[in-house]
A and B are shown apart, each in its own frame.
Chain A
Amino acid sequence: MKIVVTLDVVLAQRKMKLKDLSEEIGISLTNLSLLKTGKAKGIRFNTLSKICDTLNCQPGELLQFER
C-alpha cells in the first residue's frame, strides 16, 4: 500500500515543465523532483495548495492510493 504522486501526469497534461512550476511556486527543483519521483516522505498543505493553484487542479489529481 502506498501513495503515488502523479505530478508528472498533471504536468504533462498542462504541458508544463517541472522547472517552470518550481519558479512559479518558489520551491526548489530538487525538492519538486523528489516529490515527483515519490522519494519525499510527505507534502505540506501549503505546498499542495501552491501546486494545485498553479496547475489549476485538485489534490486528488496529484495523489493516488495504490494497494
Chain B
Amino acid sequence: MSKNKIIQVSIWLTRSVIFLIGLALLLFTVLVIHWHFDKTFYQHWYLKNEFNAGLDSLAIHISGKESIGISLSELNNIMMYWLLLRNVVIMILVVIILFKVVRFLKSVRKVKTFYDENIRTFQVIARISFLLAAISFVNFGTVDGVTTTHFMLPYRPLLFAFGALVLSEVFKEGKALLEDSKSII
C-alpha cells in the first residue's frame, strides 16, 4: 500500500471514530431524556463499572436477570446528569484530539510534516490528554444515600500525553534538520 493510501485510510478511520463517538453521545443524551420520563424501563439496564474512575466508566449492559452493577432505574437525577456531564466532557476532549490527529495526517499527506503547526498540534494533544487524565482521575456516585468515591491512576491518557510530548520534541528536531538541509545548496 502506498504512503498516501495508508494516510487516506487513517484519516477515514479517524473520521469514522469521530462519527461513532458523536453517535454514542447522541444516543446517550436521548437515553437520559427518555430515562427522565420512564425510569422503570431501565430496571434491567446496569451500569457495569458503577462509578469507577477512568475513561470507560460508561459501560452499560442489559440483562434480564439480576446482574452486577447498579440498575439505571436506581439512579437519582443528579447522578444521571453527573454521568452525562462527565462523559460528554470526556468525549468532547477525545473528539478534539481526534480532529487534531486528522489535521496532522492531512499535513503529512501534503508533505508538510516537520512544520511548526505539527509541533503545536502535538503540544495541544498532550495538554488535552493531561486534562483527560485529571478529569478521569476521580469519580463519585450516590445510590440509596451511600456515597462512593473512586480514584485511579489514568495511565492510558497519561501515556498518550507523554507520547504526544515526545513526538512534539521529535518534530522540533525534524524541523531543525529540515531547515539545515534546505540551507545546504
Contact = CB atoms under 8 A, between A and B. Distances in A.
Are A and B a genuine interacting pair, yes or no?
yes
Nearest to A33: B185
Interface range for B: under 10
Interface in A1-59: 27, 31-32, 34-35, 39-44, 47
Contact of B183 (A27, A32, A42, A47): A42
A43 B180 CA distance: 11
B78 interface: no
Interface range for A: 10 to 19
Contacts of A42: 183-185
Interface in B52-67: none
A17 B147 CA distance: 84
A16 to B, nearest CB: 18
A23 B165 CA distance: 45
A7 B183 CA distance: 17
Contacts of B180: 41
B41 to A, nearest CB: 71
A36 B113 CA distance: 30
A8 to B, nearest CB: 15
Contacts of A43: 184-185
B179 to A, nearest CB: 9
Nearest to B180: A41
A62 to B, nearest CB: 12
Q: Which of B180, B183, B184, B185 has the most CB of A within 10 A?
A: B185
B152 to A, nearest CB: 50
A33 to B, nearest CB: 10
A45 B184 CA distance: 11
A40 B179 CA distance: 11
Interface string B146-185: 0000000000000000000000000000000000100111
7 contacts: A27-B185, A40-B183, A40-B185, A43-B184, A43-B185, A44-B185, A47-B185
Given A34-B185, A43-B185, 18 more contacts: A27-B185, A31-B185, A34-B183, A35-B185, A39-B183, A40-B183, A40-B184, A40-B185, A41-B180, A41-B183, A41-B184, A42-B183, A42-B184, A42-B185, A43-B184, A44-B184, A44-B185, A47-B185
Interface of B: 180, 183-185
